[in-house]
Amino acid sequence: MSFTYILFDLDGTLTDSFEGITKSFNYALKALCGYEENDQDMLSGIIGPPLRDLYIKNYGVTPELAEKLIEKYRERFSTVGLYENKVYDGVPEMLAALKEKGKVLALASAKPEEFCVKILRHFDLFKYFDETAGASLDGSCDTKEKVIEEAVRRLGLTEETKKEAVMVGDREMDILAAHEKGIAVAAVGYGYGREKELKACKPEFFVSNVMELEELLLH
């Protein structure tokens, strides 16, 4: 099957952002709660989902404290953390090949859009994207479903043209949110999601590396 419209997640799909996100996450925890998270599985699990929900669910903080933690997190991430990041090998070449093939590319990330744009510009990837949709800083657009819905709106997709679209992501929420919006999914196994959990969500496609992803998307 050939796809015209390709929506990409950012963390764990285009870039390896583990260092910047986890250090900023612990920066906030240490400052406001007096401790840090050292469990590697827990730290891997924070990459992707909205941090506000994670602070409340995993650490039992109040919604008010969660907001303060988010502010503290952004204090470090906006100036340091977003650059503690690296592009996966082969991603720039893949994006260039997709654009040359005439594909329409959009970012659909649960990370605040302002940070998404800075990261894409920093790594010279912004030029490949027709649209860049991310979460809002005020929390009004803070779920993957809302972000994908916004990306679909900006691309002007209809129920018919959504059949020509695919969401590329590395977490279960990417699969579930895209399916809720009627979009097929290509799950990637090189990010932060576990293969067993990803396949349990029944993505239409599963790839193990960037080379396989490029081959799939260029069809």
Confirm if 210 and 94 have CB atoms less than 8 A apart: yes
DSSP string of 57-122, one letter each residue? HHH---HHHHHHHHHHHHHHHTTTGGGS-EEPTTHHHHHHHHHHTT-EEEEEEEEEHHHHHHHHHH
9 is an active site residue: yes
Please report, for residues 20, 76, 198, 201, the alpha-carbon distance to residue 38 in angstroms, rounded to integers and kept in the order given: 15, 18, 25, 28
**Active-site option among 9, 11, 142, 170:** 9
Please report, for residues 37, 158, 168, 211, the alpha-carbon distance to residue 214 in angstroms, rounded to integers and kept in the order given: 35, 25, 11, 5
86 DSSP β-pair partners: 16
> Backbone dihedral region of 18: left (phi > 0), alpha (psi from -120 to 50 degrees) or beta?
alpha
What is the set of active-site residues? Answer: 9
